[in-house]
Chains A and B, each alone.
Chain A
Amino acid sequence: MFDLLKLRKQHGYQSIPDIRNVRLMETHKGYPLIDESKWKKEYSGLKDVCPTNAIEFDPFSIDMGKCIFCGECERVFPGVVKFTNEHKVGCTTRNNLVITGSTFEEFRETAIESERKIHKLFGHSLKLRQVSAAGCNGCEMELNACSNVNFDMGRFGINFVASPRHADGIVISGPISKNMAPALMDAYNSVSTPKIVIAVGACAISGGLFAESAELDRTFFNEIKVDLFIPGCPPHPLTFINALLDFLGRK
């Protein structure tokens, strides 16, 4: 009994009080800043530096939908790329994930469009069904962490639920293997409309490291529109929660 009380005291209060404004440590790799004036000619043969082909030269751009935030380009092109610790990198349109040289503030202005309709429908309660379609367990662990005592996403009325029938939308992780393609479509179809689709991580958004594998079936995205993209490998829980809150039009 005394040990239990001691444990409660040791545990203390673990929730992050201000999820909207908390900063991540300096080492975190978030939004990339690009300074093309530092570009050197000898770099032009080094396209293989990026393992997921997220980089385009001339003009220099990084596609955060493909980027795994490994920082190789930062090391090889010093000064040209600088990963900041800005973690709010979620977007509602695929094109906005391609970063050319805008500042983080400029990026944020158009990154997430929140519609009145979405706010009205889901603004105060959103239940999500997560489908891992060949995800490596990285994104899955971070999505689980969203509901732990530190991040406590439930405080905003956002929860993960077991049945797609109880859900307002699905959260997809992984590059979508052939074997998971039908199950993913079944899960999507089991969610009643109106519903939202969220793609989490480089794999779900673009195939990521597995984009060139013959074992994927990404036709799901030919038919279904993604409402919210959460880049990262895996995305930090704060990236996911903040993107959702912005998308729902919450303060």
Chain B
Amino acid sequence: MDWTEIKNLQSVLLKDVPLLSFDKLREQLINSVKSGKRLVQFFGNEEKNEVILYVVLADDQQSKLYLTSAKFKSEKTFDSLTREIPSARLFEREIYEQFGIKPEGHPWLKPVRRGIAGINSQEPQYEFFKMGGDEIHEVGVGPIHAGIIEPGHFRFSCYGENIHYLEIELGFQHRGVEKLFLQKKNNPVYLEKLAESICGDSVIGHASSFNSAIESLGEISIPRRAKLIRAIALELERIAVHLGDLSALAGDVAYLTGNAVFGALRTKVINTTMAICGNRFGRGLLSAGGVNYDISPELRDNILSTISRLDDEVSLAAEVYFSSASVLERFEKTGIVDFETALEIGMVGPAARASGVAIDVRSDHPFGAYDFFPVHKLTLKSGDVFARAYIRFIEIQQSIRIINEQLNNLTEGGLKKNFSSLKPNRLVVSMTEGWRGEIVHVVITGAKGEIKKVKIKDPSFHNWLALAIAVRENGISDFPLCNKSFNLSYCGFDL
């Protein structure tokens, strides 16, 4: 068997990970993706004088993951996979950027993250894609944008008011997160907090992914009550961001009622998270081994009544919002990503589901409390701004139901399990469905159980290209709308 079969959060001994020649790996990878498996992770890890490339594939129907690797010692090139598997394009660029191993035949080998210390920083200044033609004009936006938002650069090639092509340059936010995980590997408290700061709007998502990986490597199973509290916090995070995005989308089309109403509802949700752990974004709630804060019976009743009111309030607000002509006129048929494209470029999360791609880690590769509370996958078809907005609304309703169910089954029990050390020479793939989509942390331990590698993939990694595709042949004035309908993370991408 050339691939090790694992499950989400099932750790595997490094010596059990097959080591193939790259050509063999390449051939099998292409066949697997053709037969419907999905490329989840493809990254390098430097050990002594060699680089090992790891590949993680997902079979979403069977809830299985497949793992294999290839070794690079002196050879500095491999045959690019991107033409056969478009979703490999960024992974390959990242491998080139970090280790100098060149994917030969890659259609566009530009830096993943702008000018960071790596191979590409020695290359001449990167030139943006240029369109020919007298009538083409370019619009450059960023790194600093108009609102209070993270930095990144957008380069539009326009014909009149229409966008022909958008190139997105990221990397401005690069803080060296993956390196910091190794630099401070002996301070577990620090690592927990760092995981919470990978991306400030997905605190619970990333913390849950990282801590679950650590627990799997420590071979402990956390108390049921802790699993439930984690899932409740994750769903609260999902509701809060979705409400915030519905509010901001309303703002972008000058629909002030929606802007105000959804904004105020979001405040109630993040204040609920604050009532649990003291922070509006759930910082400090999760810890390796469980959770730091309990939900008391009074608080439980409070949350139950808050979300039951919220259910009615959101329904009425959405009814008005999605029947307003001025909203629909701007949302419908704007920024379309069709099903085939979404599948091909490896989109994840609600944005993918809005284009009809039925993937959701909570039901495909269940983790934590979702093992015993299955989640039904919600999809829409049209792939436009409307679909990406409407899916927020139905996911909010779904999350309310999930929280309700979980709070009503919040059995007594401990909050946290202690453990001493991580098992040596292991690798674990930890996937979580954050509000933005699939968050993947791969953690590898060394001979003494020390952390040797933390590889992080935020859902934005795949979805930025979807935004660039969505805006093509749309008016440039619709860009903010398209952008907000994805609401992608800059720092989650830049790390």
Q: Is the CB of A14 within 8 A of B260?
A: yes
* A138 at the binding interface (Cβ < 8 Å): yes
Least CB distance, A238 to chain B, in whole angstroms: 11
- Stretch in contact with the other chain, from B179-187, B391-399, B438-446: B179-187
Instruction: Tell me the bound Cα distance from A140 to B279 in angstroms.
Output: 15
Q: Are B274 and A136 in contact (CB under 8 A)?
A: no
Q: How far is the CB of B392 from chain A (nearest CB, A)?
A: 16
User: Do the beta carbons of A234 and B281 come within 8 Å of each other?
Assistant: yes
CB of A132 within 8 A of CB of B267, answer no
Interface 1/0 per residue, A12-30 and B, CB below 8 Å: 0010000000000101110
B151 A236 Cβ-Cβ under 8 A: no
- Which of the 9-residue segments B33-41, B195-203, B227-235 touches chain A? B195-203
State in angstroms the CA–CA spacing of A7 and B184 once bound together.
Answer: 51
B447 contacts partner chain A, Cβ-Cβ < 8 Å: no
In contact, B151 and A29 (Cβ under 8 angstroms):
no
Q: Give the number of residue pairs across the A-B interface with Cβ within 8 Å.
A: 184
**Is B264 part of the contact surface with A, judged by Cβ < 8 Å?**
yes
Contact of B187 among A48, A136, A140 (CB under 8 A): A48
Residues of A within 8 A of B134 (CB): none
Query: Whose C-beta in chain B lies nearest to the C-beta of A148?
Result: B263
- Chain B, Cβ-Cβ closest to A16: B267
Within 8 A of A (CB), among B268-304: 271, 274-281, 283-284, 292
Contact A28 B278 (CB under 8 A): yes
Per-residue CB proximity of A142-169 to B under 8 Å, as 1/0?
Answer: 1111001110000000001010000000
* Total chain A interface residues with beta-carbon distance under 8 A: 64
A4 CB–B CB distance under 8 Å: yes
User: Pick the contact of A133 from B151, B197, B489 — CB < 8 Å?
Assistant: B151
Known: A25-B274, A70-B284. A179 touches B260 (CB 8 A): no
Assess the A141–B200 pair: CB atoms within 8 A.
yes
User: At the interface, yes or no: A226 with Cβ under 8 Å from chain B?
Assistant: no
**Closest-CB distance, A159 to chain B (whole angstroms):** 11
Q: Does A6 contact B (CB under 8 A)?
A: yes
- A182's nearest neighbour on chain B, judged by CB, is B143
Chain B residues in contact with chain A, CB under 8 A? 114-117, 143-144, 146-151, 171-176, 179-180, 183-184, 187, 189-190, 192-194, 197-201, 203, 244, 247, 257, 260-261, 263-264, 267, 271, 274-281, 283-284, 292, 313, 316-317, 319-320, 323, 489-491, 494
**Contacts known (A27-B274, A51-B193); A179 close to B263, Cβ less than 8 A:** no
Residues on the A chain within 8 Å of B117, using CB = 214-215
Q: Which candidate, A37-45, A108-116, A205-213, is the interface stretch facing chain B?
A: A205-213
Known: A14-B264, A132-B149. A177 touches B274 (CB 8 A): no
Q: Which residues, 198 to 243 on A, are CB-close (under 8 Å) to B? A: 208-210, 212-216, 233-234, 236
Complex CA gap A75/B284 in Å reads 12
Q: A131-B144, A132-B151, A233-B283 are in contact. Are A179 and B172 (CB under 8 A)?
A: yes
Minimum CB–CB distance for B178 against chain A, Å: 11
What is the CB-to-nearest-CB distance from B183 to chain A, in angstroms, rounded to a whole number?
A: 7
A180 at the interface (CB under 8 A from B): yes
Q: Can you list 16 pairs linking A and B with CB atoms under 8 Å apart?
A: A14-B267, A25-B274, A28-B274, A51-B193, A69-B279, A70-B193, A71-B278, A72-B189, A75-B292, A130-B148, A132-B151, A134-B491, A137-B199, A138-B283, A149-B263, A162-B147
